[in-house]
Amino acid sequence: MTLIAVARLMAAKDLRVELRSRVVLNQVLPFAAVVMVLFGFALDNDGILPQVAPGLIWLATMFSLLIVVQRAFAVEAADGALDALQVAGVRPAGIFLGKAAALAVQLFVLQIGLVFGSVLLFNSKLHPGGLVLLLVTLVAATLGMTFVGTIYGGLAAGATGRETLLPLLLLPVVAPVLIGATRATEASLSVGGTSMREGWAWIALLATFATLFGIGGSLAFGSLLEDQ
Amino acid sequence: MEPVVELVEAVAVLGRFPAVAGVSMRVDRGEIVLLRGPNGAGKTTLLRLCAGLLPLERGTGRVLGCDLAGQRQLIRTRVGLLGHNNGLYADLTVRENVRFWGATVGASNEEVAASMATMGLDGRLASVQVGRLSAGQKRRTALACLVARRAELWLLDEPHAGLDAAGRDELDATLHAAVAAGATVMVASHELERAGSLATRVVDVVGGVVALAGPTSEATNLRAADGTEHPAAAGKR
């Protein structure tokens, strides 16, 4: 099988599992909404909330990422499917790309909900001129987060105490995405004093981050699985 | 004819413990070899070594003509390992699971359907989510996945576990059919009566080494290398 065929097979399987279990819809989306509302309570000030909304969107995304990554690999580990994928000689790079693609789709849907949640809860304003930048930010940052999430999810899958290990490993690494995505989102929503030009500069960082971790993950995922 | 499995003084370690501690054995095409021995003897590790899942620490080994030291990825595409876990996705149906594992080797829809029919899963069960199946039905689904993957060497760890009498008969028939189609089977089992009647040869594994090997009729009447009489032999008297 070609790399793309393996990735499509894995992604289709993961998305079918999600459609059946509806974990993102029934658990992760409500969790992210609760996080947003709690941030709203904590920063209960009309002047501040629209200013900090971009950061809150990405913080909620990052916390949700932990849940979806853990779920994605729990499904593989529950009955030894990850082991079986290795025995079947399925190309590790294909597994990596497929799982990352499925995670990206789930996270992207979640972020659309969070952006609209921000409009409703924090009075964020969507501008026609910033929509393209916002969309590109969502895509680039989501890819970066899911590539890192898949790498560390695979690394922690067989480890003892993986529930606590994953956040420890993952959160520091995705910090640059949090910063870049927040600045680019600020630019797209015209808050925080970040210009559109600066916003596109942050996109370059996000794209570089996603590319590096996409290539690195594809190359290293086989070794990560072997070491389980 | 080149053997399917050929190990010479093979050593494989789990952590720092040599679970396979110098095994030399040969398995020819079309054989059904029963690996037997007490818990912790190294049977599962030996199967995982043959599947290319564990690196060869010392010695030499070839599986299906491929070198265990340098061609493990190639070996994996041609063997099927059914261990203690079934490798199934609980949220997917039986059909979706078999189709997924069949797709990893490019199996057609007809081949997937035939695999399910072989294990008696082509009726109502095909549309049931695996998470709702009994242990035996899950085992049958896992075996159907193995059939769909067209493995040349079947490595089975306690395959009869959880199966009812009909399921066991189906499994045995499936293994005979696989062998007739050119496959080779290695089975690790504690169910000696059932697996013994299936096997063409028995290999005793004790303490990570092969203690005794021979045809089922001879091996079951002999004492193991550690001096204890094998339960199967005891049961025959």
pLDDT at B216 (0 to 100): 52
Average pLDDT over residues A80-91: 88
Query: Band of the pLDDT at A101, cuts 50, 70, 90?
Result: very high
Q: Which is higher by pLDDT, B194 or A2? A: A2
pLDDT at A129 (0 to 100): 84
Measured between beta carbons, which residues in chain B are less than 8 angstroms from residue A84?
A: 81, 85, 87, 101
pLDDT at B235 (0 to 100): 37
pLDDT at B231 over 90: no
pLDDT at B2 (0 to 100): 86
pLDDT at A158 over 60: yes
pLDDT at A133 (0 to 100): 95
Q: What percent of chain A has pLDDT over 70?
A: 98
Q: How many CB atoms lie within 10 A of CB A159?
A: 14
pTM of the model: 0.86
Range B179-183 contact pairs with CB under 8 angstroms and sequence separation of 24 or more? B179/B30, B179/B31, B179/B32, B182/B29, B182/B30, B182/B152, B183/B30, B183/B151, B183/B152, B183/B153, B183/B154
Query: Band of the pLDDT at A220, cuts 50, 70, 90?
Result: very high
Check if the beta carbon of residue A46 is closer than 8 Å to that of residue A123. yes
Measured between beta carbons, which residues in chain B are less than 8 angstroms from residue A80?
A: 83-87
SS3 for chain B, per residue?
Answer: CCCCEEEEEEEEEECCEEEEEEEEEEECCCCEEEEECCCCCCHHHHHHHHCCCCCCCEEEEEECCEECCCCHHHHHCCEEEECCCCCCCCCCEHHHHHHHHHHCCCCCHHHHHHHHHHCCCCCHHHHCEHHHCCHHHHHHHHHHHHHHCCCCEEEEECCCCCCCHHHHHHHHHHHHHHHHCCCEEEEECCCHHHHHHHCCEEEEEECCEEEEEEEHHHHCCCECCCCCECHHHHHHC
Query: Band of the pLDDT at A155, cuts 50, 70, 90?
Result: confident
Q: How many CB atoms lie within 10 A of CB A2?
A: 9
Please state which of the ranges A18-27, B3-12, B186-195 shows the lowest mean pLDDT: B186-195
B154 vs chain A: nearest CA distance in angstroms?
A: 11
pLDDT at B40 over 60: yes
Tokens found for residue A80: 């030894």
The chain B residue lying nearest A23, using CA atoms, is B91
A166 vs chain B: nearest CA distance in angstroms?
A: 22
Three-state DSSP at A190 gives coil
Each residue of B157-215: pLDDT tens digit? 988 877 778 778 878 888 888 888 888 999 998 877 777 778 888 998 888 788 765 65
pLDDT at A122 (0 to 100): 87
The chain A residue lying nearest B78, using CA atoms, is A88
Q: Which is higher by pLDDT, B227 or B50? A: B50
B89 vs chain A: nearest CA distance in angstroms?
A: 7
Q: Do A80 and B149 touch (CB under 8 A)?
A: no
Each residue of A27-45: pLDDT tens digit? 999 999 999 999 888 887 6
Average pLDDT over residues A63-81: 92
Measured between beta carbons, which residues in chain B are less than 8 angstroms from residue A81?
A: 85, 87-89
pLDDT at B232 over 50: no
Rounded to the nearest integer, the mean pLDDT of chain B is: 83
Residues of B with CB under 8 A from a CB of A: 51-53, 73-81, 83-92, 96, 100-101, 103-106, 129, 149
Q: Which is higher by pLDDT, B161 or A177? A: A177
Average pLDDT over residues A152-180: 87
Q: In whole angstroms, give the CA distance from residue B169 to residue B174.
A: 8
Each residue of A47-71: pLDDT tens digit? 788 888 999 999 999 999 999 999 9
A19 vs chain B: nearest CA distance in angstroms?
A: 9
Q: In whole angstroms, give the CA distance from residue A190 to residue B2.
A: 72
ipTM: 0.88
* φ, ψ of residue A118 in degrees (nearest 5): -65, -40
How large is the angle between the packed helices A92-122 and A49-77, nearest 10 degrees? 150
Please state which of the ranges A15-24, A116-125, A138-147, B11-20 shows the lowest mean pLDDT: B11-20
Measured between beta carbons, which residues in chain B are less than 8 angstroms from residue A87?
A: 51-53, 76, 79-81, 87
pLDDT at B170 (0 to 100): 78
Q: Which of A16, A75, A88 sits opposite B104 (nearest CB)?
A: A88
CA triple A171-A172-A174, angle to 5 deg: 65
Q: How many residues does chain B have?
A: 237
Check if the beta carbon of residue B98 is closer than 8 Å to that of residue B116. yes
Each residue of B52-103: pLDDT tens digit? 988 898 999 999 999 998 888 889 988 999 988 899 999 999 999 999 999 9
Q: In whole angstroms, give the CA distance from residue A148 to residue A167.
A: 12
Q: How many residues does chain A have?
A: 228
Q: Indicate the pairing of strand B32-36 with strand B209-215.
A: unpaired
Q: Do A13 and B101 touch (CB under 8 A)?
A: no
